[in-house]
Amino acid sequence: MSQSETALDHPTPSPAPAIETERREPFVDAKVAAAFLKISPRTLLAMSRAGQIPAHPLDGEKCRKTWRFLLSELDAWMRRGVESGESHSCRRKRAG
């Protein structure tokens, strides 16, 4: 048996096709996002409407009642605030 006959009888297996294993992060509703941030859903929605927090409206530009959130975006948003040293005091500074 020659070498070429052996190669035909037992071909080298081709590599398996690449399977996309990337998983996309699911969007969550306001209740889950608010629990993640430990704030009320009402506060979260107000911040979303004001553009203060990363949020994705489902109802289009006209009527923003339904929002979805990515926890990774909320986490990054919080970390940026912590790392930048931004803090907002609830107390007003006394004059004089």
Q: Residues 54-72: pLDDT tens digits?
A: 999 987 655 667 899 999 9
pTM of the model: 0.62
Give percent above pLDDT 70 in the chain. 58
Of 64 and 25, the one with more pLDDT: 25
The full set of domain ranges for the chain reads 25-77
Instruction: Report how far residue 85's alpha carbon sits from residue 96's, in angstroms, rounded to the nearest whole number.
Output: 26
What is the pLDDT averaged over residues 64-93? Answer: 80
